Amino acid sequence: GRALPVLLLSATVSLLGGLIFGYELGIISGALLQLQIDFHLSCFKQEILVSALLIGALLASLVGGILIDRHGRRRAILVSNLVLLAGSLILTLARTFIGLVVGRMTVGFAISVSSMACCIYVSEMVAAHQRGLLVSLYEAGITVGILLSYALNYIFADLDEGWRYMFGLAIAPTAMQFLSILFLPVNPVKLSSWDSECQKGLIQLQNTEDREMAKREPYKEKHYSFLDLFRTRDSMRRRTLVGLGLVLFQQFTGQPNVLGYASKIFHSVGFQSNSSAILASVGLGAIKVVATLVAMAFADKAGRRALLMAGCVVMAISVTTIGLTSRIAPLAMARDCKAAADPNASHSLTQHPMMPVSSLSAVSPIPPALGAVKSQAGPGFAATRSLTKVFASTQSKEVVLDSSLTQKRGLGGLSKKDTVESTGPPFGGAPWTEHMVLNWITLLSMMAFVSAFSIGFGPMTWLVLSEIYPAGIRGRAFAFCNSFNWAANLLISLSFLDLIDAIGFSWMFLLYGLMGVMAVIFIYLFVPETKGQSLEEIDQQFSRKR
């Protein structure tokens, strides 16, 4: 009778973990629009505030693995919940810029530890035939969390100090996750014997053969040092190659940047008003949710390899198509965050798709570093950054246009003329209408890219990572790969505009297409199929193969 409650609670923990993660990633875009006015933030300060989450998460991926392996997955999630509650309170009550930075770093640390611990905990908690579904639920939670943050950004945009509510509302799902996990047993991997009370409840999740096998040959947990990740013992080096290959290809296929052009592409096919562009970016978010649900349904049927390879093929075709169409109908580019007072305050590093160049100098809605953070390097963070950026840029423009809000908040630096100019279509109009068919092809390619990412690399990378390492080093191995994902994401986001200056937009996307083809070959050669196998069987399969 214990099996069903354990299954439902595992699902709840996974979903809430993802929801909190996505929410914290997405909420900063709306909050920043108010914070820059309330705290008179320069571009540089905005970059620091946005990067604070990334710094906290990077720290967590360096030390979180030790916490997860030493003290258990369940305790790591409980601790991360407490840290997240503290971070949310610091943000909600913040009176100074330093308070905001400390709060965001704390939140970044907590969601990074939680993301790693949740995936590992749930993968160990459930039976082989349900693992794909329940670990992928985390990714679904992230996409829903991002959509929720968009909605709340919109609701609280006109409220005085609305950012306090935005940050404070994260407390509710965190408290719910904390309570859910209190009712779950201690991590089964840490139990010394198959006969313990908890295990009796959990073993019912598995089929009779699994149970008989488990009783016949009890699984002996081995102990590993961190350096074993790079040694040939038990094929650990091969596992590390698989893990690093997946997280790096997840970034180098271009997902942190492809969606940065979403709003431009929406404008080109006729979404001229701001509200329709916001709806369109939310629509992309909804496509992502649906695609993730498809991945959840098929993870245990089609298998991880099949979904990864199918997703990669579609992504490669999509970015190649965008690259080819942009050769004929080029998209304009503008560097963002030019502060009115001091144009040299910061070096802009990512694009600001929707703001017309004329109004860029007037208000600096979102800093370049936001790009680096948005596609977090924990499970699933992919494509979240860019969607958030699209939403933020459209919303920031609405803030500029809403004259009552401008007066209420005392937003300086905008003359009446600037405000009126901003309402027109941001891009001249003539070039777009010439290439309407190509623009629609580009838009459909981008939708295909989002869907393919959310079916393949989005959820499957983290599912495979939570399966391929032995229990004794799973936390540290996951954290090691996670830190590379953060670093690669930061590198891709920061180097994007410089690369475009050097080789051009279309060549950049064709390069992403080539990386997609290489990713397919890598997955075909190195990534094993793990569906339907217990974690012990996967471990033994790796240990046998050289």
pLDDT in tens for each of the 546 residues of the chain?
567 888 888 899 999 999 999 999 888 888 888 898 899 988 888 878 888 888 898 899 989 999 999 999 999 999 999 999 999 999 999 999 999 999 999 999 999 999 999 999 999 888 888 899 998 999 999 999 988 988 888 888 888 899 999 999 999 999 999 999 998 888 564 333 333 334 444 444 444 554 455 444 445 667 888 888 888 888 899 999 999 999 999 989 988 777 666 666 777 666 766 566 666 667 888 898 999 999 999 989 999 999 999 999 999 999 999 899 888 877 655 555 544 344 333 333 333 333 333 222 223 333 333 333 334 444 434 334 444 444 444 443 333 333 333 334 444 333 333 433 333 444 444 455 567 888 788 889 989 999 999 999 999 999 999 999 998 899 999 999 999 988 887 788 777 777 878 888 889 889 999 999 999 999 999 999 988 888 888 888 887 765
Locate 317 and state its tokens.
């075709």
Q: How many beta carbons lie within 10 A of that of residue 528, not counting itself?
A: 17
Where does 39-127 have alpha helices with state H? 43-71, 73-92, 97-125
The DSSP 8-state label assigned to residue 528 in this structure reads: P
Phi/psi of residue 539, each to 5°?
-60, -45
Locate 270 and state its tokens.
């006729």
Distance, in Å, from the CA atom of 84 to the CA atom of 28, rounded to the nearest integer, reads 15
Phi/psi of residue 136, each to 5°?
-65, -20
The full set of domain ranges for the chain reads: 1-189, 228-333+433-545
Superfamily of domain 228-333+433-545: MFS general substrate transporter like domains (1.20.1250.20)
Residue matched to tokens 């869907």? 451
Instruction: Give me the sign of the Cα torsion angle 205, 73, 297, 484.
Output: negative
Distance, in Å, from the CA atom of 78 to the CA atom of 356, rounded to the nearest integer, reads 45
CA atoms within 13 A on the CB side of 528: 22
Per-residue b or e along 119-156, where b marks 16 or more CB atoms closer than 10 Å to that residue's CB: bbbbbbbbbbbbbbbbbbbbbbbbbbbbbbbbebbbeb
pTM for the structure as a whole = 0.74
Compute CA distances 253 → 88, 389, 520, whole Å: 33, 19, 11
Q: What is the largest CA-CA distance in the chain?
A: 80
The number of angstroms, rounded, from the C-alpha of 50 to the middle of its chain's C-alpha atoms is 15
Phi/psi of residue 187, each to 5°?
-45, 120
Distance, in Å, from the CA atom of 277 to the CA atom of 264, rounded to the nearest integer, reads 9
Contact (CB, 8 A) for 131 and 102: no
Domain 1-189 - what CATH class? mainly alpha
The packing angle between helices 474-503 and 236-252, to 10°, is: 40
Find the length of the chain.
546
Adjacent-strand bridge partners of 6: none
SS3 (DSSP) at 339: coil
Locate 438 and state its tokens.
């190509």
Q: What pLDDT does residue 46 have?
A: 85
Q: What pLDDT does residue 243 have?
A: 95
Q: How many beta carbons lie within 10 A of that of residue 42, not counting itself?
A: 18
Q: What pLDDT does residue 31 have?
A: 87
Query: CA nearest 487: which of 66, 44, 231, 112?
Result: 112
Contact (CB, 8 A) for 41 and 35: yes
Q: What pLDDT does residue 221 have?
A: 65
Compute CA distances 200 → 187, 203, 204, 205, whole Å: 13, 5, 7, 10
Q: Is it true that 1-189 and 228-333+433-545 share their CATH fold?
A: yes
Distance, in Å, from the CA atom of 341 to the CA atom of 43, rounded to the nearest integer, reads 10
- What's at 358, amino acid-wise? S
